[in-house]
Structure 1
Amino acid sequence: MHTMWKGTISFGLVNIPVKLHSATENKDIPLRNLHKECHSPVKYEKVCPVCDKEVATEEIVKGYEYTKNKFVILEEDDLEAIKDENDEKAVEIVDFVKLEEIDPIYFDKSYYLSPNDGGTKGYVLLREALQETGKIGLAKITIRSKEHLAVVRIYHNTLVMETIHFPDEVRDFKEVPNVPEEAKIVAKELDTAKLLIDQLTTEFEPEKYTDEYRTALLDLIDQKRKGEEVSTAKEPKKHDNVTDLMEALEKSLQKTKKKKKKPAAKKKTAAAKQAKAN
């Protein structure tokens, strides 16, 4: 399993060397955008609408739009300075709480934690302490220049760190439009709904749930591939100096031929011929 981060878990004076591994993976099927006419992948270029030209990566700077079309420019040195101040490789547990006190709306992404060199004993110590107390650790960590709030808990026999949103990142539910405060519900309707819930109530078995759309899409792609319903993108036309030179020479040759052509001589009239003879 790929290690994406190395650091320590700290609580009190205890420091445990750990490695961080992504616990989930995105299994969406990537579909490319192709030109309908020739089935070539469509390119997305970074173009400046004012200068009307493509912008190279080294010509791009960061900016914060504080009002319409007004920007505060942030240099790389500014961003690096802030990053250095907050980029300590540590999961600092600041509190211990109960898992049920955190609403699922706060949870973001999950990571497995494994002990790094010399961290085995401390890893087991923290795992057993969390298991015995029924608590989870509430921590702070910086990943890719962004500070996260996180929880450290046990998943089977493995420590898991899950990033969670800060309170100001969760939108106020009171802003959701058209949510009714109450409505007249007939008792019989409510009893029927509760009976249906009872009938569908079961233990959570994640293995029985599958992404049916992804499965159907993979089957469709496989059928088309086996039926040779495939398309090969055409190689983009390459313009080199030789090709450009030949085109220029051919165009020049055509222009020269046109200039050499003289207008047809006019036929002399009978009267003109007679005058010339006298």
Structure 2
Amino acid sequence: MKASWSGFLRIGLVTIPVKLYPAVVKRAISFHLIHKDCGSRIKYLKYCPRCDRVLEDEEIVRAYFLDKDHYVVITDEELASLKLASTDTIEVKYFVDEKEVAPIYYADAHYLLPEGEGGKEAFAIFYKVMEEKGRAAVGQAVIRQREYPFLIKPYQGKFLASTLHYYQDVIKAEDLKVEIDEKKLDPRYLDLAARLVDSLTEPFKPEELVDHFAEAVLKLVEAKARGEKFELKAAEEKAKVISFMEALKASLEKAEKKAA
């Protein structure tokens, strides 16, 4: 696999040559819109409704709207002057208990590996220490003129470097009010729910995280390419349960039968 970036991981005065590899490849299925009569791809024209004509690229500028009727034009040159110079270093700012970082902050995952023989020892030393202490490193780098915060933690013999969402982009859970009075919870429900959770508890199976819709689309495409008809059976309608208690009991009975 080709590295997406190479540079250095700096921890204090220690500099480790590293390479960054994508840890996730998104395989979403995409479609093109075409003219059904001739098969040509559809083009989207840049049209001005007030002037009632298609515009050329040089007639179009970028603007930020302050409100419905007021905007500020921003030129490409002005934006370019604000861009940060790319660096070749992920600078570790501090270490945290990895459990302190809420999952909502995690963005894209990458593998961070040492480059060459020179950095392997330092890489291994920090890997072992961070693994034993349950620590993760909070770092920062400017890659391709864009600033990225990173969380770096040990994972299966290598570092997992996840970019983080910016603080101002994350909707805080406390902003969404939910009133829960635990004193009013029915002990019978709690007992049944606890038994159901225990009955359905299994080891995590990442191989079962499958995009069934994408698989069905590919089968449809393959069948139509061969001139065959593809049919997908509709899912059976599930029986409706009248009350929460009945739902818990029925679910528990089903889970216990499966376990048996």
TM-score category of the 2 structures, normalised to the smaller one: 0.7 to 0.9
Measure, in 1, the Cα distance between the counterparts of 2:54 and 2:15: 49
Give 2:114's aligned residue: 115
Distance of aligned partners of 1:141 and 1:56 in 2 relative to their CA distance in 1, 3 Å threshold:
farther
Moved more, 90-99 or 215-224: 215-224
> CA offset at residue 79 of structure 1?
2.5
Q: Distance in 2 between matches of 1:105 and 1:89?
A: 27
Q: Are 1:34 and 2:34 matched, yes or no?
A: yes
Indicate conservation of the 8 Å contact 2:87/2:143, yes or no.
no
**How far off its partner does 1:4 sit?**
1.9
Cross-structure match for 2:133:
133
Indicate the residue corresponding to 2:150 in structure 1.
Answer: 150
Using a 3 Å threshold, how does the CA distance of structure 1 residues 56 and 91 change in structure 2: closer, same or farther? farther
The DSSP-based 3-state class of the residue aligned with 2:107 is strand
1:15-63 C-alpha deviation (Å, 9 max, x unpaired): 1222222110111111222345555432222333344444444554433
Per the alignment, residue 181 of structure 1 pairs with 180
Deviation for aligned residue 1:89: 2.6
Checking the alignment, whether the CA contact within 8 Å between 2:48 and 2:54 is kept in structure 1 is yes
Match in the other structure for 2:71: 71
Q: Check conservation: 2:153, 2:159, Cα contact below 8 A.
A: yes
Q: Mean Cα displacement is larger for which, 179-188 or 13-22?
A: 179-188
Q: Which residue of 2 aligns with 1:224?
A: 224
Distance in 2, matches of 1:122 and 1:58, equals 52
Task: Name the SS for the 2:90 alignment partner.
Answer: strand
Which piece of structure 1 moves more, 179-188 or 64-73? 179-188
TM-score normalized by structure 2?
0.76
Aligned to 1:269: none
Offset from partner CA, 1:99-118 (integer Å, 9 cap, x none)? 11111111111011222354
TM-score, normalised via structure 1 length: 0.72
The whole-number CA distance in structure 2 between the counterparts of 1:212 and 1:7 is 38
Other structure's SS at 1:162 match: strand
Mapping of residues 191-206 of structure 1, within 5 Å: 191-206=191-206
**What value does the CA root-mean-square deviation take over the aligned residues?**
2.5
Provide structure 2 residue ranges, at least 5 long, that are not aligned to the other structure.
Answer: 230-260
Give deviations 1:51-85, integer Å, cap 9, x for gaps: 44444445544332222243333333332232245
> In structure 2, how many angstroms separate the alpha carbons of the residues matched to 1:3 and 1:54?
42
Larger Rg: 1
Unmatched 5+ stretches in structure 1:
230-278
Counterpart residue identity of residue 223, structure 2 = Q
